[in-house]
Amino acid sequence: MNIPDINVSQIVYLLLFAAIAPAVDSVHHRWQARQQQRRRGKPLLQPYRDLIKLWRKEPIVPPSPTSWIYLLTHWLSFACYLLLGWAYLSSSTVDMLTAVYLLGFARFAQALAGWDSGTPFSGLGGSRELFIGILAEPALILLALIAVSLSPYQSSATILATIFLSLAAAMLMLAEAGRLPADNPSSHLELTMIAKGTHLPYAGRHLALLRWGEAMKLTFFLLLLADLWLPRDLAPSFQFIRLLIPFVGAVVLAVIENRLLKWQLRKIPLLLTMALGAAFTAILIAYVGGR
């Protein structure tokens, strides 16, 4: 990753990225409650209250032989997801290769912590997370190869390539952010958990960091989708205003999820195979159209 020159606006932008992430997640859940259950849903500021409440509680650490891996994972995961905002800020569009490494490292660390805690369902969730990650990374790498250079305003071929790339990014977001049909973040049944399964051994401020990090991961993917159609170099002054785009994306995501059912684990490779095919098609169209 090319580290940008540090200035006040970039630091403020990074802090805003972390600050709005719980609100983006709140908009998604609130709209989903209205669409699916015809109820008002939680207040928009409820995630912040929950994070403050969890932060005030003492964490409960599983008994020995839990090691330092468990004790550091929530901090490492939070740092990786926060650095997704830095990766987003580091180039003219998005330094996606760095994002692939950060997402993979956070996933691997959480899986190790699940096994280290000795909790059966947490280890099961970590194994499923690694399974999904292995399938998602090839499509993420293809996305990284083209997302930093493709502009939908160049030609009709790049517009078509951007459409396929957006489809790939949307399907990857459903899998990486633990959304339907790949996962159900509102599930409370341990046997069906995937991403949330790795959170089971955590409590207090440790759990607060993990939840905050998951919200930042969702916000990052929504910003990525926005960048595919709104290149930052067209309007540099639009940089701060574009932080409002994830709220619109959260509403659209809620509408889409309300029309989907959770797939069986053995069917999830189909979703990620379609994402890989869409990303490869986008690269092919961009290459042929640029000749």
SS (H, E, C) the chain: CCCCCCCHHHHHHHHHHHHHHHHHHHHHHHHHHHHHHCCCCCCCCHHHHHHHHHHHCCCCCCCCCCCHHHHHHHHHHHHHHHHHHHHHHCCCCCCHHHHHHHHHHHHHHHHHHHHHHCCHHHHHHHHHHHHHHHHHHHHHHHHHHHHCCCCCCCCHHHHHHHHHHHHHHHHHHHHHCCCCCCCCCCCCCHHHCCCHHHHCCCCHHHHHHHHHHHHHHHHHHHHHHHHHHCCHHHCHHHCCHHHHHHHHHHHHHHHHHCCCCCCCHHHHHHHHHHHHHHHHHHHHHHHHHHC
What pLDDT is attached to residue 237? 56
What residues make up the domain containing 175? Answer: 8-290
Residue 154 belongs to a domain: yes
Q: Is 265 within the bounds of a domain?
A: yes
The answer to whether residue 3 sits within a structural domain is no
Q: For residues 197 and 50, what is the distance between their CA atoms, to the nearest angstrom?
A: 19
Residues 6 or more apart from 4 whose CB is under 8 A from it? Answer: 10, 89, 90
- Say what the pTM is: 0.90
Q: What is the pLDDT of residue 238?
A: 60
What is the count of structural domains for the chain?
1
> What pLDDT shows up at residue 55?
95
Kindly state whether residue 130 falls inside one of the protein's structural domains: yes
Regions of the chain short of the pLDDT cut 70: 1-7, 36-37, 90-94, 148-149, 151-155, 231-240, 290-291
CA dihedral 265, 266, 268, 271 (to 10 degrees): -160
What pLDDT is recorded for position 290? 60
Which pLDDT score, from 0 to 100, does residue 231 have?
Answer: 63
Q: Is 1 inside a domain boundary?
A: no
For residue 229, being part of any structural domain is answered with yes
Residue 53 belongs to a domain: yes
- In-domain check, residue 227: yes
- The per-residue pLDDT for 187 is 79
